[in-house]
A and B are shown apart, each in its own frame.
Chain A
Amino acid sequence: MTEKFLTRMGDGERVSLTAEEIREDLEAGNQDAAQRGNIPALSSDELDQLFAIVTDPNRITAVRPGREVITTDDGGANMIVCDKPDGGVGLPMGYHNAVLAFERLCCADTIGVGHYDYSCKPVKALINYEKQRYYMYSQAATIPLIYGTQPNLGVYFQPDGPFPNATELIPAGKIKEGQEAQEAAAEALIEDLIYIAGELYDAGCDGFNFDTCASAGDADFYASLTAVEALKAKAPDMAVEVGMASEFVLGMHSEIEYKGTRLAGMYPTEQVKVVEEAGADIFGMAVNVNTSESFPWNLTRAVAFLKATVEVANIPVHPNVGMGVCGVPMLSVPPIDCVTRASKALVEIGKADGL
């Protein structure tokens, strides 16, 4: 009888695959990344390593001693106290306690904090409270404290914001109007990002995470890059991490450029170069999970993108390993067999500088 190995689909469903089926998926994921990203495919040795990680009979796995990396996160301390829609566990405790628990119970290398909503726009009205919170936590925490927010250009459009909604204008054939709306919204977002981060800098903020950049497409990415550049001039001693929303920058505007480079259609190897040019200190790569493909397929694809990105990057690369990205299944409670396998593969084969 042919031996089968327990693994999962991209949506987390547990499946049993033969060695041949797993190797086929590894190769298919590898080729998909190479073709889409125009990057080198992983070698046969690297695919063998991936096969060993995927088929490890233990429930969880880990990197070898000495291969550990740094962890940064998108408001990790939030998760202890916030509610289900944000992935939180809703513990009835104060945020201050959550920050210290993240340091001394979760044993992360850095602590991510942020506003409960996490989008940039709502923070502006509450910036004094956010500064107070950051200051208080910073007095008590020993490890680096990073304030995170999602640029989230989408909330600047009607009905949530003041600008005409590009996603309504474009399908109506009003392309120019849609582009102008995005450009105007981007300018407002840039102003807000610089204001928020600048205020936190005054309170002693050591790190600022632009999280889930380009979630609303290329104009969203443009706003983030422009804000990073301005911020590094205004607040040079505050580290900036730029985490992406996906592997591919959607061309919602399609023509917007950053320093002469068109942003639409960029894959991680190109994204990291403009992020570097803007002056960011850490790049958070994201590769989306295809729920219809297997975990081996998705993981290989993420590792291939990561390895190519790390090779061209001059700054540390921390692949995003949240739900539905970089191999972690799109399931609200991600199975730790896949979570730990993704960690190991991305670090040992993809050469991640952190997660």
Chain B
Amino acid sequence: MGDPFGMTTAHVMAAGMCGIRTAGDLVAWMQLTRRMKIDEAKQYVAAKLGISVLDLSNEEVMHQIREELDIGIISGPADATKGVAARCRIAELLDISIHSVNIFKEKLNAPLTPIA
């Protein structure tokens, strides 16, 4: 988008998918990891979620889906998955390789080397 002074919000509300409120981050991952153009990226995510492309930006549908899949929701309750843990679930859901997730899992699953 670009700066400055609060203009971001205007662009997001006028034309953005609205990120974690809906499926914005999921579609963004497809552009970042597979270079998909917007229509292809939306179709891919919609197919994975089993919903229509129109519902990807429908809060009434997407909030419930995100809550049920536990992939991070806008309200961020303390007992819900968020952050890198949510991204791990998103990578699995979308069947994509996310670098930060891979690094996290590498560290998580690395064998404990006994102290000599």
A340 CB within 8 Å of chain B: yes
Q: Is A261's CB within 8 Å of the partner chain B? A: no
Do A138 and B84 form a contact, CB below 8 Å, given A109-B25, A144-B25, A339-B11?
yes
How far, in whole Å, are A138 and B97 apart by their CA atoms in the complex?
A: 16
B3, B4, B6, B100: the one contacting A204 at CB < 8 Å is: B100
Which residues of B (20-54) have their CB < 8 Å from a CB of A?
A: 20-21, 24-25, 27-29, 31-33, 35-38, 41, 53-54
Known: A104-B76, A110-B28. A343 touches B19 (CB 8 A): no
Residues of B within 8 A of A204 (CB): 99-100, 103-104
Closest chain-A Cβ to B2's Cβ sits at a distance in Å of 2
**With an 8 A cutoff between CB atoms, is B83 at the interface?**
yes
Known A68-B57, A108-B8, A110-B28; judge A343-B15 contact (CB<8 A).
Answer: yes
Contact call B2/A320, Cβ cutoff below 8 A = yes
Is A142 touching B72 in the complex (CB atoms < 8 A)? yes
Q: Are B103 and A68 in contact (CB under 8 A)?
A: no
On whether the beta carbons of A66 and B54 are closer than 8 Å, the reply is yes
How close is B75's CB to chain A, nearest CB, in angstroms?
8
Q: Does any Cβ of B come within 8 Å of A201's Cβ?
A: yes
Interface check B78, CB cutoff 8 A: no
Interface size on A, residues (CB 8 A): 71
Question: Shortest distance in angstroms between B51's beta carbon and chain A's nearest beta carbon?
Answer: 12
Contact B10 A340 (CB under 8 A): yes
Residue of chain A at shortest CB distance from B107: A204
Interface string of A315-355 (1 = CB under 8 A from B): 11000111101001000111010011001101100001111
A140 to B16 alpha-carbon distance, docked (Å): 22
Q: A205 contacts which chain B residues (CB < 8 A)? A: 99-100
What's the Cα separation between A65 and B22 when bound, in Å?
13
Partner of A339, one of B10, B16, B90: B10
Chain A interface helix/strand/loop/mixed: loop
CA distance A140 to B102 in the complex (A): 16
- A239 and B83: CB pair below 8 A? no
B3 touches A323 (CB 8 A): yes
Partner of A322, one of B3, B20, B54, B58: B3
A281 within 8 A of B: yes
Q: Which of B75-104 contact A (CB under 8 A)?
A: 76, 82-84, 86-87, 90, 97-100, 102-104
Known: A206-B32, A206-B98, A237-B97. A71 touches B16 (CB 8 A): yes
Q: Separation in Å of the A96 CB from the closest CB of chain B?
A: 12
- A33-77 to B contact mask, C-beta < 8 Å, 1/0: 000000000000000000000000000111101111111111110
A70 touches B16 (CB 8 A): yes
For window 81-113 of A, CB contacts with B under 8 Å fall at 86-89, 102-104, 106-110
* Cβ–Cβ contact B25 & A110, under 8 A: yes
Whether, in the assembled complex, A189 has its beta carbon less than 8 Å from a beta carbon of chain B, the answer is no
For window 178-223 of chain A, which residues contact chain B by CB distance below 8 Å? 201, 203-207
List 7 additional contacts besides A63-B14, A68-B16, A139-B83; criterion CB under 8 Å. A66-B53, A70-B16, A71-B17, A89-B5, A142-B20, A322-B3, A328-B7
Q: Residues of A at under 8 Å CB distance from B? A: 60-63, 65-76, 79, 86-89, 102-104, 106-110, 138-145, 201, 203-207, 237-239, 281-282, 314-316, 320-323, 325, 328, 332-334, 336, 339-340, 343-344, 346-347, 352-355
- Give 9 closest A-B pairs by Cβ, nearest first: A322-B2, A87-B4, A87-B3, A109-B24, A142-B72, A143-B25, A239-B32, A204-B100, A343-B15
> What would 24 A/B residue contacts be, using CB atoms closer than 8 Å?
A62-B13, A62-B14, A65-B54, A69-B16, A70-B38, A73-B2, A75-B3, A87-B3, A88-B3, A107-B19, A107-B74, A109-B12, A109-B16, A109-B27, A139-B84, A142-B71, A282-B35, A315-B37, A336-B10, A339-B14, A340-B10, A343-B11, A343-B15, A354-B31
